[in-house]
Structure 1
Amino acid sequence: MATHAGGLTATAREASAAVRIEGLVRAFGTRTVLDGLDLTLRPGEFVAMLGRSGSGKSTLLRALAGLDHETGGEGELSAPDHVSVVFQDARLLPWKRVLANVTLGLTGTDAGERARTALDEVGLAGREDAWPVELSGGEQQRVSLARSLVREPELLLADEPFGALDALTRGRMHTLLARLYERHRPAVLLVTHDVDEAIALADRVVVLDGGRIAADLAVELPAPRRHGTPEYAALRTRLLARLGVDGPDHL
């Protein structure tokens, strides 16, 4: 066992779980954000996480990614060695062209070939030499997805990756992410404020409230998941109720 900063303990990962979290506590000074949180993700499972602003969703992702060394806490966290993160903004290096952004940190003589394949998968074949500033917001997020998936992660963490996109582009990105997920099959933890996004993409939807999991619901709807069916409406209503929302709007 190795102890991480803040008292977090890393345990040997079980074959039946891509992620196992038990009693996770994370605090900023005197403010406790995650309060004894328990969560498990199976290998290849797609889980969406909903919660009010400030509920600790991003804090949890940072803990899983090993990016929260300045916070205090305790608990056990088991996660894969190969983890990739997609953020709300693409975080491309503006002084590097698209291909160089995707190959950033990659090793091996086939890095360029792998990156080109990844760009082709996200629909950006031929844009390898473009500068980030020449891309639309949706295209930049495609590059970000390519950069994450070219590493063949066992766990993909996505922190509201489509929140800044317009509705049409966001729908296209949902389709793209679903296709890439089926092809690569990492475990995915998607943080979102959008109930419909969670239902459209995930195998399970969890609701974070008070630093703990307040609801954990399987999405047992046939694809494609469309608005208007009684089953969709019932699940959406249950999730909104867990979030304290009495209406049809997104959060």
Structure 2
Amino acid sequence: MAPHTEQLTRPAVRLRGLTRSFGDRRVLDGIDLDLPAGQFTALLGHSGSGKSTLLRALAGLDHTVRGSGELSAPERVSVVFQDSRLLPWQRVLDNVVLGLDGGDARDRGRAALDEVGLGGRERAWPGELSGGEAQRAALARSLVREPELLLADEPFGALDALTRIRMHRLLRELWQRHRPSVLLVTHDVDEAVVLADRVLVLQDGRIGLDLAVDHDRPRDAYRARLLTALGVTEDPA
């Protein structure tokens, strides 16, 4: 189910001329990008292409980026990393509500854990969770803050194939329910096509391909085009 048309006319993120260099190497080279509110976008690129750098800039974690124009994002931004980053000395519910204000914070935390399938695990320690469960807890921690923008930096990269499929389904369901804008950084072309409604390819510091995905169409056509944009050719079967 695609976001409503009227929602997509309202930009959640607007970048103009975003630049980031590491020494003499320019990783982001004057990027212009709009992310409509409620859209699920995936960002592909080779290792070192600047995907995570762009995500960190949007999250406000990198203050050395420069822009000739705008860098605007919503106030409520949540980030999910490849590592769940749960505090091992805090129980699961305490991790989920860490930093939350309000007397209903723990109730909201329990509701978020229920949504990701961890109801009843509130008092578990992070070390007692599987990798998939830990990422579910990380998703709950992000969603309990009701983000307008969810930034996900390869959140399923360390999971086994079957767990990754389950997490794909969960993330898509949670997005449909809450409708934040999502920017998913991934190396996996198939993951991008399965999850996102729009796929960007970062090339030489700029957006080299901006591809809208129609989930009713065969996936192979999108996959082939994205692999070509990444400079990858597959041997015929």
- With normalisation by structure 2, the TM-score equals 0.93
Aligned counterpart, 1:29 = 23
- Residues 8-60 of structure 1: CA deviation (Å, up to 9, x unaligned): xxxxxxx7200011111011222211001111111100000000000000000
Q: SS at 1:18's partner residue?
A: strand
Ranges of 4+ aligned residues in structure 1 off by more than 4 Å: none
Alignment of 1:232 with 2:226, yes or no, is no
Alignment of 1:243 with 2:236, yes or no, is no
Aligned counterpart, 1:209 = 203
Q: Which runs of 5+ in 2 are unaligned?
A: 1-8
- Residues 182-233 of structure 1: CA deviation (Å, up to 9, x unaligned): 11000000000000100001010000011100000000122xxxxxx7x321
Q: Which amino acid aligns with 1:95?
A: W
Q: Which amino acid aligns with 2:36?
A: R
Partner Cα distance (2:51, 2:80) in 1: 14
- Count of residues in correspondence between the two structures: 227
Q: Is the 8 A contact 2:27 2:205 kept in 1?
A: yes
For the aligned residue pairs, the C-alpha RMSD in angstroms reads 1.4
Partner Cα distance (1:125, 1:40) in 2: 37
Report sequence identity in percent. 70
Aligned-pair CA distance for 1:234:
1.2
Q: SS at 2:30's partner residue?
A: strand
Partner Cα distance (1:87, 1:219) in 2: 24
CA gap 1:110/1:72 in 2 versus in 1, 3 angstroms: closer
- Residues 96-138 of structure 1: CA deviation (Å, up to 9, x unaligned): 0000000001000000000000000000000000000000000
Aligned counterpart, 1:226 = none
Partner Cα distance (2:158, 2:215) in 1: 27
- Residues 153-174 of structure 1: CA deviation (Å, up to 9, x unaligned): 0000000000000000000000
Partner Cα distance (2:215, 2:132) in 1: 28
Partner Cα distance (1:184, 1:177) in 2: 10
Q: Which amino acid aligns with 1:129?
A: R
Alignment of 1:58 with 2:45, yes or no, is no
Q: Which runs of 5+ in 1 are unaligned?
A: 1-14, 223-228
Aligned counterpart, 1:79 = 73
Q: Which of residues 135, 145, 154 is equivalent to 1:151?
A: 145
Partner Cα distance (1:36, 1:137) in 2: 37
Q: Is the 8 A contact 2:57 2:65 kept in 1?
A: no
Which range moves more in the overlay, 119-128 or 27-36? 27-36
Partner Cα distance (1:133, 1:126) in 2: 16
Q: SS at 2:223's partner residue?
A: helix
Aligned-pair CA distance for 1:74:
2.7
